[in-house]
Chains A and B, each alone.
Chain A
Amino acid sequence: MSGLRVLVGCKRVIDYAVKIRVRPDKMGVVTDGVKHSMNPFDEIAIEEAVRLKEKKLASEVIAVSCGPPQCQETLRTAMAMGADKSIHVEIDLATYEKMSPLHVAKLLSKIAQDNKVDLILLGKQAIDGDCNQTGQMTAALLDWPQATCASSIEKTNGDIKVVKEVDGGLETVKVKLPAVVTTDLRLNEPRYATLPNIMKAKKKPMEKKKPVDYGVDIDPRQKVVSVEDPPTREAGQKLDNVQDLVTKLKEQGLLTS
C-alpha cells in the first residue's frame, strides 16, 4: 500500500504570547521587530502529518508557506518537526499584508495538484486573521471533501474517519480521499524539534516559487479601512454588601422591582 502524500500549510504569525499593538497609522498592527512563530494550529497539522508518516500511512510530508523571506524559518521548523521538504511561495511584505484566504486557497489548490497530493492538512484558522476560511475554500476549489475542526483523524482503507468539534459536541464523518482536513486544538500535542532533527532540516530541500508560477493572481480584493484597539474595559466597582448591589442594579435600570 503506497502512502499518502500530505501537504501542510504553515503560516508565520505574530507569536501568540506577544501583546499586539496597533500601528500609529491605524492601518494595521506593529509587526516590525516583533516575535513571530508558526501558527499554533499549523504546528498541530505538521505534527499530525508526521505522525501519519511514522504510522507508515503517509509517504511524504510537504510543508508550504506563502509570504516574505522570513517564512523560510517557519518552514525550517516544519522540516525539523519531520516534514520531508518545503515550498516557499515568495510574496513581498506589502502584497502579503493585503492577501486574504481566497488567494491562499488558490495557491494551495494549485500546489496540491502539481504535487499530486492526497491529503491537505491545514490549521483551522490563523491566530492573526481568525478567518477560518482557507481550508473550506481550498476544498471547494479542488472539489474535494472537507472535514474541519478535527480532533481526531483515522485512516480506514480508502477513506479517513474524522471526529470534528462542533457546537453540540463531537461529529464523526467519513471522508473519501483526496480531502482537506483542518486541525483543532485537541488533535495532538506538537513535538519539540530535537537538535539532531534541527540539524538535518538544514539539508532538506526547500523549493522557492512565486504566485505567477502557479498562475494565481493575488491582487487584493479587499481594502483595509482602519484598524483600531477594542474599547478599553472600564474598571468595575467593588461593593460592600448585597443591599448596595441591589441598589446599584436598580439605578442602572437592570432590575424591575
Chain B
Amino acid sequence: MSALHGRVLHASRLSLTRFAASKLCPSCQCLQVRKFQCITGMGRRLSQVELTSKRYPKLKRGPFATLTDADVSSLERLVSGRVITDKSDLDGYNTDWLRTVRGASTIVLRPKTTEEVSAIVSYCHDRGLAVVPQGGNTGLVAGSVPVFDEVIISTQLMNNIISLDEVSGTLVCQAGCVLAALDDHVAQRGLTMPLDLGAKGSCHIGGNLATNAGGVRLLRHGSLHGSVLGLEAVLPSGEVLDCMSTLRKDNTGYDLKQLLIGAEGTLGIITKASILCPQRPNVVSVALLGCANFQGVLDIFRETKTKLGEILSAFEFMDTASMEMIGENLRLINPISASPFYVLIETGGSNKEHDEEKLSALLEGLMEKGKAMDGTLATDTTKIQAIWGLRERMAEGLLHDGYCYKYDVSLPLPSFYQLVEDMRERVEGSAKRVVGYGHIGDGNLHLNVTSSEYSQHTMDLIEPFIYDWVANYKGSISAEHGLGFKKRDFIYHSKSPSAVALMKQIKNLIDPKGIMNPYKLLPSK
C-alpha cells in the first residue's frame, strides 16, 4: 500500500521533467547528458578525426619553440594542479566541435585568475611558444583548437560572476562563465543576456566576445560591439590590458575593446568582461508559420516588423530540407503541416494583453491574406522550447549525417535563397543534403552541405564557388562565425586589400612574435 502511495503521489513536476528530458542520443541510444553532449560521441570518435597537419599538408608550422619537459615543469608551477598532459584527455581540447579538425597539442593549462593567465602568457612569450585561447570550444571555424602543437589555455576554471548591478543592468564576470549560467543568474533579477545562441549551454562569454557572436536575439539587442561596456585581456606579451568599465558612456580615447571583440583571440586573451544586460521580457510567445515560397518569407518579415514593432525579439527561417533533416536525425516533430518554408517569430514584451493583441492581429492577417499556409502559436514554456528546439538543434542534427560543410553568409535579401538552390544543383550526386536556415531578420544565411564522409571532391565543388557567389553580391563570407582557421584565406572576398594590410600591421604591433592563436583569422598570404 505504501509503495502504491509513494508511486502515485510523487511530485509530478519531477516526473514530467524526467519524461521530457529523457532524450536518448539517436545514434548510440546513450543518455544525452546536456544539449550537444552525448556520452559516447556522435558517430565519429574524436581520435578518428584526421590531424589538421595531415589534412592540410601544404601548411607549415610557424617558427615557434617546441615544448620541452622543462617548459611543462615551469608551467605546472604557474598553474599548480590544473595542467592536463594525459594523451587520453587531450583529444577533446584538440578537436573542434564539428569534428572536422584535430590539433596535436600536448598540454592544456587551466588558469583561475587573470594573474595566472598573465604569468603563463609571459612565459610562453619569452620562450617563443605559440598559444591558443580556448573557451567552450563550440566555435564553427576551427578557431579555438590548435593547428599544430600550440599550448592550449582554457578558461574553463575562470567562471566567477563578479557583480551584477540590478539598476543599471551591468554584469561583471570572468571570461570562462558559461552563457546559459550567466543568463540564469541575471534572469533572477529580471534581466537577460544580450545574446542567445544554440551553444549557450557550453560556450564561454569570453569566446562569445572574441568572436563577436551573433545568435538569435541580435535582431532585438544588437551586436556585442554595443553591449560590452568593458574588457580586461592579457596581451601576447603577458601584459594585462585593463579596459574594464561599467559606464554606459565613456568617450575618452580610442575604444580598444572594440579591437578585441571579434579578433578571435589573435590579439590577446579576454579574461574579464562587463556587459550591459537588458530587461527580460515578462511575456514571451513563439509562432511557427509555414509558407509556400521564399517571397512569402520576405512578405511575412515586412508584415511582422510593421505589426509587431518593438516586441519582435527573433525572426528565423528554415527550408523544408532543414525540417526533414531535423525529423530524420533527431526525431523532432514538425508541429504544423509540411511546407516549403518555415518562419519562427518570437515576441518579448512587458504586457500580456498588448502583445497578444498585436500577435493575433498579425497572425490572422497573414492567414487571411494567404501569406501563411499554416502555423501554430505557443505561449507555454514547454511548447516554446520545443519550437525553438527545431531551429536551435539544427547544427547538432546535421552532424548525424556524417561530415558537415558549414557556411554562414550575409546576403541581400532578394538573392538570399538563390544561393541554396544554386548549391543544391551544383553538388547533386556528391552530397547527402543541402539545407538553408538562419537569421533572416539579419540577412544571415546558414547554408550546410552534408555527406557521410569528408570528400575532397565535394569540398572542391563547394569552395571557392560559394565564396565567389557571395562576393559577387557583395555579401559577407562569414556573417557571425568568424574566419578562424577555415575561412581565413577567403578574407579578401569580403575585405579590401588595404583593410587587410592594416589588420596585419595591427597584429604585428600587438603580437610581434605572432604567438597568440597563430594560423587564424589573417590570411596565410
Contact = CB atoms under 8 A, between A and B. Distances in A.
B70 interface: no
A15 interface: yes
Given A16-B382, A193-B376, 18 more contacts: A16-B17, A17-B385, A37-B382, A40-B382, A41-B12, A130-B12, A132-B9, A149-B8, A167-B3, A167-B4, A185-B16, A189-B333, A191-B335, A192-B335, A192-B336, A192-B376, A194-B336, A195-B287
A127 B380 CA distance: 14
B376 A37 contact: no
Contact of B381 (A18, A127, A194, A196): A18
B372 A195 contact: yes
B3 A192 contact: no
A158 interface: no
Interface string B284-318: 00010100000000000000000000000000000
B367 A199 contact: yes
A35 interface: yes
Contacts of A40: 16, 382
A33 interface: yes
A15 B377 contact: no
Contacts of B367: 195-196, 199
B282 to A, nearest CB: 7
A57 interface: no
A189 B331 CA distance: 14
Nearest to B289: A195
Contacts of B335: 191-192
Nearest to A199: B364
A166 B374 CA distance: 40
Contacts of B382: 15-17, 37, 40
B381 A17 contact: yes
A198 interface: yes
Interface in B1-53: 3-4, 7-9, 11-13, 15-17, 19
Sort A-B residue pairs by CB-CB distance and give the 8 closest, nearest first.
A37-B380, A17-B381, A192-B335, A195-B375, A192-B376, A167-B7, A127-B12, A15-B381
A40 B379 CA distance: 13
Question: Size band of the B side of the interface?
Answer: 20 to 34
A41 to B, nearest CB: 7
Interface in A176-203: 185, 189, 191-196, 198-199
26 contacts: A16-B16, A16-B382, A37-B379, A37-B380, A38-B380, A40-B382, A41-B12, A125-B12, A127-B13, A127-B16, A130-B12, A132-B9, A149-B8, A167-B7, A185-B16, A189-B333, A192-B376, A194-B336, A194-B375, A195-B289, A195-B363, A195-B375, A196-B374, A198-B363, A198-B377, A199-B364
Nearest to B367: A195
B81 to A, nearest CB: 12
B16 A192 contact: no
B383 interface: yes
B290 to A, nearest CB: 10
Given A33-B282, A166-B4, A185-B15, A192 B378 contact: yes
A243 B16 CA distance: 39
A226 to B, nearest CB: 19
A40 to B, nearest CB: 6
Max chain A Cβ within 10 angstroms of own Cβ: one of B16, B336, B380, B382: B380
